[in-house]
Chains A and B, each alone.
Chain A
Amino acid sequence: MKRSFAVLLLLLAAPFLTAQSEPILVPEVSQSRVEVRQGFTGANLLLYGAVIAPRGAAEDYDIVVVLKGPAEPVRIREKERLAGIWMNAGASDFRSAPSFFAVASSQPVSEIVDERTAAIYELGTDFIQLSPSGQIDPEEQSRYASGLVELRRRQGLYKQDPQGVRISEGVLYQARIALPSNVTTGAYTAETFAIARGRVLASATARIEVEKVGLEGQVVVASQRWALFYGMGAIALSLAMGWLAGRVFARG
C-alpha cells in the first residue's frame, strides 16, 4: 500500500523530476514474497509500474519484463542411439542455468530490439546466458543449450509471452507471469526494461522471495538438518500405518 502510494506520488511529481533525457521507470510487484505451503498450485505474479518520459520527449516505450529464478550449475546430458538402445552419450556443463526464466513484452522482442541488444539484456529464452564451462566447440554448446531451454520450456519453467505486457496511456504497464507449482525456492529478480528506438533507455529491478513456509518449510528443514530423525520418522509412519491397517482389517 505504502509503495503504491509512492508510485502515485512519483507520477504526480513526474513533470518536475524529468529534467534529464532518460525516462524514469518505477516497477512494482503484486507480492514480494511468494509462500509455498500446503495446497500450493502455483502463483500468479502481477508486475506493474509506470514509465515516465522526460519533459518534451513524447515517446512511446516498449516494456520488457524478465523474471529470473535462482541460477544453479547443471550438467546436461544428451541421449543417442547406441547399439539399438537410447542412452546418454555426451554431456556439457553450464555454470549458471536459471531455475526459472520468463519474458513478457509489449510486442515480440524481435520487433523491439536487434539480436545483439536482446542478447546483452537476455530478452528471450534464446538469449539466456548459461555460462558454459569446459572446452567444447560453440556449435555443440548451443545445441546443448537449446536442449536445456526446450526441456525446461516443456516443464513450464522457461517461457516467453510476446503479448504479456499491457501498456495503458503510454505510462502505466502491467505484466502477468504465472509461477508453476514446480518452481525452485529462493530469490527471484524481476527486471523491467523501457525500450524505444531499439535502445534500452531505462531499467529497474525488483526482488521476489519464493519460500516454503509452514509445515512444508519444516519438512524441508527437517530432511536437511535432522536427516536421521527424519528417516526414522518416515519409517515409523509407514510401520504405524501398516500395523494400524492390519489391526483394523483383522477385526473386520
Chain B
Amino acid sequence: MRGFHRLCHSANRYGMDVYLPIANLSVNGLFIVLLGGLTGILSGLFGVGGGFLTTPLLIFYGIPPTVAAASAATQVTGASVSGVLAHSRRNGVDYRMGTVMVGGGVIGALIGAVLFRLLQALGQIDVVINILYVLMLGSIGALMMREAIVALRPALLGKGGAPVRKRRHHPLVASLPYRWRFYASGLYISPLAPLILGMLVGILTMLMGVGGGFLLVPAMLYILGMSGNVVVGTSLYQILFVTMVTTMTHALTTKAVDIVLAALLLLGSVMGAQFGTQIALKARPEYLRLALAALVLVIALRMLYGLGVQPDEIYTVAPL
C-alpha cells in the first residue's frame, strides 16, 4: 500500500490540488473523481454501493477514517439515486419491499451509531470492522461464487440449458407471521423478513461505512427469494435512503462529512453509475454475479492478509 500511496501523491505534482476543509489536507482532485467513477460503475452494475471499496482506498490515501466513512456514505447516496432512476425506468424497483427495508435500515443505523461509540471508546472499532469485512465478504463471496459456477456449468460445458432451479425463499422466512403480497418481487411473505434484513444492513452501514449492497443483494436473492430483475433496483432504493440517514447521523454526531470530498466522489460516481447500468442491461446476469463474487473474495482475502500481517503503524493517535 506504500506504493499506492506514493502513486497518489506523485500525481499531485501535476496540479489538480484540492484542499478538503474537514479532512484537513489537500488531495489530487482528479484521483478522487476517478475513484468515485470506479465505485459508480460497480454501483450501477451490481447494485452495491461501492462503499466497501471507497472507504478503504480513501483511508490508504491518508484521509481520516471517520471522514472517509462519512463522506463515502454521502457519495453512495448520489450514486444510488441515478441507479434507482435508471432501474425504475424499466420497472426494476419493488417500492413496497424497499420501503419496508428502509424502515428496518433506519432502526439499524441508530443501533449501529450506539455500537460505533461503544467500540470506539474501547479502541477496537478498527479490528471489529476488519473482522466483519472478512467474515461477511468471505462467506457471501464464497456463496455467490458457488451459485454462479453452478449456473454457468452447463453453458461452459456446451450442453443445452440445465433445468432452472425453482426459486424459493428460506424456510425461516416462510415461518414468519402476517404475510403481505409483494407483487413486483413475486412474493407472498411476512414483512418482518425484509424489516430484519434491512435492520442488519443498517447496522453495518453505520459501522463499516458501506451501503451494504454486497450483503443485501445476495440476501434478497437467496434468503427472501426475490425475483432477480428487481433485486438490484430495490437494493439501490434501500441504500439510497439508509445512506441519507447515515449522512445526517454523521453530520450531527461526528461532524465528519467533508462536502468537498463528497462532491468530488459524486462527480465521478454519478457518471460511473450510468455506465454501470448500461453494462448491466447488456451483460448476462450469471457472468455479472461471477465477477462480483470474484471481486468480493479478493477484497476479503486482502483484508484477512491485513489482519495477520504487521501493520505499517503500530501506534495510532486519537484525540481525547
Is the A/B pair a real complex?
A: yes
- The proximity string for A residues 75-90 relative to B, scoring 1 for CB distances below 8 Å and 0 otherwise, is 1111101001111100
Chain A residues within 8 Å of B262, by CB:
234, 237-238
A88 touches B127 (CB 8 A): yes
Tally of A-B residue pairs with Cβ under 8 A? 186
With A76-B315, A87-B124, A241-B266 in contact, do A234 and B74 touch (Cβ < 8 Å)?
yes
B18 touches A39 (CB 8 A): yes
CB interface residues, A 53-93, toward B, < 8 Å: 72-79, 81, 84-88, 91, 93
Return A70 CB to nearest CB of chain B, in Å. 12
8 A-B pairs with the lowest CB-CB distances in the bound complex, closest first = A231-B251, A242-B81, A147-B315, A245-B270, A238-B78, A246-B85, A182-B25, A181-B26
Given contacts A72-B320, A75-B320, A180-B25, 9 further A-B contacts (CB under 8 A): A181-B19, A216-B19, A227-B255, A235-B244, A241-B267, A243-B81, A243-B82, A246-B82, A249-B271
Chain A residues within 8 Å of B79, by CB:
242
Selected contact of B74 from candidates A216, A217, A235, CB within 8 Å: A235
A and B contact pairs by CB, cutoff 8 A, 28 listed: A41-B17, A73-B320, A74-B317, A74-B318, A75-B318, A77-B318, A79-B315, A86-B127, A87-B126, A184-B24, A224-B255, A230-B259, A231-B252, A232-B248, A234-B74, A234-B259, A237-B74, A238-B78, A238-B247, A238-B266, A241-B270, A242-B82, A242-B270, A242-B273, A243-B85, A244-B270, A245-B271, A246-B82
Q: Give the A interface residue count (CB, 8 A).
A: 63
A250 to B85, CA, bound (A): 9
Chain B positions within 8 Å of A, measured between CB atoms, are 12, 17-19, 21-22, 24-26, 62, 74-75, 77-82, 85-86, 89, 123-124, 126-127, 131, 244, 247-248, 250-252, 255, 257, 259-260, 262-263, 266-267, 270-271, 273-274, 307-311, 313-320
B22 touches A219 (CB 8 A): yes
A172 to B307, CA, bound (A): 54
Beta-carbon nearest neighbor of B19 in chain A: A40
Chain B residues within 8 Å of A109, by CB:
none
A151 touches B317 (CB 8 A): yes
With A84-B308, A231-B252, A234-B247 in contact, do A239 and B317 touch (Cβ < 8 Å)?
no
B26 touches A40 (CB 8 A): yes
A235 to B73, CA, bound (A): 10
CB interface residues, A 32-57, toward B, < 8 Å: 36-42
A228 touches B252 (CB 8 A): yes
With A88-B126, A234-B257 in contact, do A216 and B308 touch (Cβ < 8 Å)?
no
